[in-house]
Amino acid sequence: MTGLLHFPDRITRAGTDGRLAEANMSSQWSDLPSSLKAERHGGVAVLKLARTQKRNALDDPTVLGIETFFSTLPDEISAVVIAGEGEHFSAGLDLSELTERNTFEGVAHSRSWHRAFEHIEFGKVPVVAVLHGAVVGGGLELAAAAHIRVAERSAFYALPEASRGIYVGGGGSVRLPALIGTARVMDMMLTGRTLSAEEGQIVGLTQYLVDDGQGLIKGLELAHRMAGNAPFTNFAVMHILPRIARSDPAAGFIAESLAAAIAQGDEEAKVRLKAFLEKRAPKVARS
């Protein structure tokens, strides 16, 4: 991206600032594999899948690199955008590296994906996935681990594992039914049905749909907005809200009351509420 990108209270500028961000990136994330590229935009980090010759297919070093990235985020990073270089987000598991494994090795391999993606879903900061082109198999499982998904109109979604004689192993059985319903996931897996970007938006797979080429801009805008929230509120939304949604109502109400009390008692919340009451903070307006 070049030129100026305008976000609330922030400006990310190409040129000198971009070179400084690249220098910071090289020192902070030098241990990432070549299939991943990381950069900083103020308090937001961008992680890009960079195996364009493989349609950003996910191999073991890439998945391990994703885990490393999200488990070692610097404290000054408050949100992350994950995207793909080239024409696709990710075509899923790199089948060329699929080796014959015994049952235990297969379980361990799947669990390594679970561990990596759990660092996204239940990590330190909220994550936006920017989707375009193929979002297939493991690529869709990766996207499902993010908190917000932005799709460009070129995006399409598929779970072709059944036709390959394999089964999802990156958390798709858990996360995707919660997003779009078990019946739709069964349809995609049994028939090989592909969903368009528009269909994905309608069924709830994504929260935002933008024109081609606008995904990263929208993703960065949302990430900067989330980075400006109170840290405990972001933590509660990421870690407590999903568990409340999966619990019985009585337990959910108790957990909610505890989270509300903790948030209200936080010093930053008191400062923000005082600013609002003194009319120094903006009111909610129709967007």
Verify that 166 and 241 share a domain, yes or no: no
First to last CA, the chain: 25
pLDDT tens by residue, 76-113: 999 999 999 999 999 998 887 776 788 898 899 999 99
Instruction: Report the alpha-carbon distance of residue 236 to residue 113 in Å, rounded.
Output: 24
As beta bridge partners, residue 208 has: 150
Amino acid (one-letter) located at 247: S
| Given 39, 141, 152, 221, the catalytic residue | 141
- What the block records as the tokens of 246 is 């999966």
Average pLDDT over the chain, rounded to whole?
87
Verify that 272 and 187 share a domain, yes or no: no
C-beta neighbour count of 34 within 10 angstroms: 10
Helices (H), the chain: 16-28, 60-71, 103-121, 138-144, 161-164, 172-180, 182-191, 197-203, 215-227, 231-235, 241-246, 249-265, 267-277
Q: If you average pLDDT over residues 110-126, what whole number do you get?
A: 97
Torsion of the alpha carbons at 188, 190, 192 and 197, rounded to the nearest 10: 0
Instruction: Report the alpha-carbon distance of residue 58 to residue 51 in Å, rounded.
Output: 8
In the prediction, which pLDDT does 26 show? 46
Verify that 52 and 114 share a domain, yes or no: yes
- What the block records as the tokens of 133 is 């082109």
Predicted TM-score (pTM) of the model is 0.86
Q: What is the CATH number of the domain that holds 257?
A: 1.10.12.10
Q: If you average pLDDT over residues 8-27, what whole number do you get?
A: 44
- What the block records as the tokens of 117 is 């993606």
pLDDT at 186 over 50: yes
Q: Is residue 168 part of a domain?
A: yes
- What the block records as the tokens of 216 is 């990263």
In the prediction, which pLDDT does 14 show? 38
Verify that 58 and 127 share a domain, yes or no: yes
Range of the structural domain that residue 95 is part of: 4-227
Torsion of the alpha carbons at 279, 282, 284 and 287, rounded to the nearest 10: 150
Could you confirm whether 141 is annotated as catalytic?
yes
Could you confirm whether 161 is annotated as catalytic?
yes
pLDDT at 5 over 60: no
Q: Is residue 19 part of a domain?
A: yes
| Given 161, 198, 199, 278, the catalytic residue | 161
Could you tell me what percent of the chain has a pLDDT over 90? 73
Verify that 254 and 161 share a domain, yes or no: no
pLDDT at 124 over 60: yes
Question: Is the torsion defined by CA of 166, 171, 173, 179 positive or negative?
Answer: negative
pLDDT tens by residue, 135-165: 999 999 999 999 999 999 999 999 998 888 8
In the prediction, which pLDDT does 263 show? 87
In the prediction, which pLDDT does 177 show? 97
Verify that 28 and 97 share a domain, yes or no: yes
C-beta neighbour count of 45 within 10 angstroms: 29
pLDDT category at 264 given cuts 50, 70, 90 is: confident
